[in-house]
Structure 1
Amino acid sequence: MRVISLSVDGIFQAAQRGLYDWIADQDADIICLQDLRALEPELDNDIFHPEGYFAYFFDSGVKHYNGVAIYTRYQPKALIYGLGFSSGVDMEGRYLQIDFERYSIGTLLAPSAVNPAESQEVKIQFFDDFQALLHKITRKRRNYIFCGNWNMAHTRKDVENWARNEDQSGFLGHEQQWMNQLFRQLGYADAFRLAVPDAGEYSWWPSGEVGVADGWRVDHQVISEGLIKKVEYAAMYKTKTFSSHLPVIVDYDIDDLEGMY
């Protein structure tokens, strides 16, 4: 099973850059997009509904602001819109999940908190609530893949020139600690790092110029413990760029999509 995740910096711009032509050649089973910056009614053109896929969108209700999408070759049993946090901060980002018999795949756009201090408070609350949810669902007999732009890097090898970025949102001490807890205490894993353990692989460039300087790896496919031994291959697509982020591609050893439907 091939899963692709990409934060597009606006779906119209990405489409103009050839995203959907590229998607047609990937033979992916699930494609998760983030940061659409479009409302669902604006996406009724055929280009945004690739042949052979069911398409699902969750916009922000505000034009030109966030939004996520999932394309799937198999019709899910259920859809979940949002994370349902009692604090309400999940709506500061966006989350959409498709459920199959034993698998759930989510597309996540986390708050970035690049603005004033109050934004950082929202981001902290978001990930505190998310951690509580992840801890709760570890007891379920279900496999999870959380794809998306987490707006957060884990270790120094995930940030180019990390020393000058330690005071930047996305690589603050408490954010690194949160990811340590996610992977070391809650039992989740970074699918890309399982297949590509070396440093020097980045998925996002804050300058918008891909590959130029100060790359970050903030785009992740986080998987539950039952999928750790299922990761076969992972890569970032670098030949052509569709946004300031690179597509994250992971192949899982799930034959014939066992248990998906």
Structure 2
Amino acid sequence: MFRVITCNTNGIRAAQRKGFFEWLAKQDADVVCIQETKAQEHQLVDEAFRPDGYHCYYNDAEKKGYSGTAVYAKREPSRIETKVGWDPVDSEGRYLRADFEGLSVISLYVPSGSSNEAAQARKDLFMKKFTPHMKALLDEDREFIICADWNTCHQNIDIKNWRSNQKNSGFMPHEREWLTELYDEQGWVDVFRQMTTEPDLYTWWSNRGQAWTNNTGWRLDYMLVTPGLSGTGKAFSILRDERFSDHAPVTIDFEL
């Protein structure tokens, strides 16, 4: 089995204080993808941020305390890539790709559009520009696992209050259609939904009110895989027993 974990930590130092790395040490993951580290690598001096048994890579945003991605890998990658050639991806550390033999794993943090119209415009531009990048990945002679906070729910089953959120960022029709295009036109596979159609499985809960307690959530954190990896997901879990951020870690075991 090849175990992959993805998690938006909403600040990796805050997650560390809440026990994230103690939990991670027990998971025996082959690759861990983190989004929203909110730190510069030189600030991560504690040995916890270099977990035993892993090669660790960080891609920081230029703006301090903002965005950022990371990848931890048991096997040393043959190549690391942190740029796609345009902003806001490059300046905000939103993309980190690790290449292994025949397989690449990407940690990706899609912009949120929820704060205001300008933020939504930035997200819309990202989706437009990232679509051909996704297509280009499919043209490479390798398989991909893209671990991301996509900041978008795809189907009604992926969000608790879908009726009242259809005009809100993260569940607007054109955002959902973007994911549909990646699936139906390009061939990317939401491996989690291949394994289960169970409802009420979410990965993000607002810190407002009783969203966590009542499981009023959104499924924002997906692993998309190339068609060649379709059907290779064999087990999954979403951590609900502990809470390290407003997102939950998602674990998928692949049979590769």
State TM-score, norm by structure 2: 0.95
**Structure 2 counterpart of 1:248:** 250
Is 1:26 the equivalent of 2:41?
Answer: no
- AA aligned to 1:194 is Q
- AA aligned to 1:187 is G
State TM-score, norm by structure 1: 0.93
**Structure 2 counterpart of 1:179:** 179
**Structure 1 counterpart of 2:89:** 90
Whether the aligned pair in 1 keeps the contact of 2:69 and 2:93 (CA below 8 Å) is no
User: Following the alignment from structure 1 to structure 2, what is the Cα–Cα distance between the partners of residues 54 and 210?
Assistant: 33
**Structure 2 counterpart of 1:258:** none
**Structure 1 counterpart of 2:79:** 78
Deviations along 1:175-196, one digit per CA (max 9) or x if unpaired, are 0111111111110111111112
**Structure 2 counterpart of 1:57:** 58
Divergent runs of 4+, >6 A: none
User: Following the alignment from structure 1 to structure 2, what is the Cα–Cα distance between the partners of residues 32 and 136?
Assistant: 21
Deviations along 1:184-233, one digit per CA (max 9) or x if unpaired, are 11101111111122221000012365343530000011111111121111
Whether the aligned pair in 1 keeps the contact of 2:191 and 2:223 (CA below 8 Å) is yes
SS at match of 1:239: coil
**Structure 2 counterpart of 1:216:** 218
Whether the aligned pair in 2 keeps the contact of 1:97 and 1:104 (CA below 8 Å) is yes
**Structure 2 counterpart of 1:227:** 229
User: Following the alignment from structure 2 to structure 1, what is the Cα–Cα distance between the partners of residues 79 and 135?
Assistant: 21
Is 1:38 the equivalent of 2:39?
Answer: yes
User: Following the alignment from structure 2 to structure 1, what is the Cα–Cα distance between the partners of residues 228 and 197?
Assistant: 20
Whether the aligned pair in 2 keeps the contact of 1:78 and 1:99 (CA below 8 Å) is yes
**Structure 1 counterpart of 2:151:** 151
**Structure 1 counterpart of 2:141:** 141
SS at match of 2:186: coil
Whether the aligned pair in 1 keeps the contact of 2:111 and 2:123 (CA below 8 Å) is yes
Whether the aligned pair in 2 keeps the contact of 1:196 and 1:234 (CA below 8 Å) is no
**Structure 2 counterpart of 1:193:** 193
Is 1:120 the equivalent of 2:120?
Answer: yes
- AA aligned to 1:65 is Y
> What aligned pairs does 1:157-176 form with structure 2 within 5 A after superposition?
157-176=157-176
The count of corresponding residues between Structure 1 and Structure 2 is 252
SS at match of 2:113: coil
User: Deviation of residue 118 (structure 1)?
Assistant: 1.9
**Structure 1 counterpart of 2:99:** 99
Whether the aligned pair in 1 keeps the contact of 2:146 and 2:225 (CA below 8 Å) is yes
User: Deviation of residue 113 (structure 1)?
Assistant: 1.2
User: Following the alignment from structure 1 to structure 2, what is the Cα–Cα distance between the partners of residues 214 and 200?
Assistant: 8
User: Following the alignment from structure 2 to structure 1, what is the Cα–Cα distance between the partners of residues 240 and 212?
Assistant: 9
**Structure 2 counterpart of 1:5:** 6
Q: 1:93 to 1:47 in 2, by over 3 A?
A: closer
**Structure 1 counterpart of 2:129:** 129
Whether the aligned pair in 1 keeps the contact of 2:191 and 2:231 (CA below 8 Å) is no
User: Deviation of residue 119 (structure 1)?
Assistant: 1.5
User: Deviation of residue 115 (structure 1)?
Assistant: 2.1
User: Following the alignment from structure 1 to structure 2, what is the Cα–Cα distance between the partners of residues 124 and 225?
Assistant: 25
**Structure 1 counterpart of 2:205:** 205
Whether the aligned pair in 1 keeps the contact of 2:238 and 2:251 (CA below 8 Å) is yes
User: Following the alignment from structure 2 to structure 1, what is the Cα–Cα distance between the partners of residues 31 and 52?
Assistant: 13
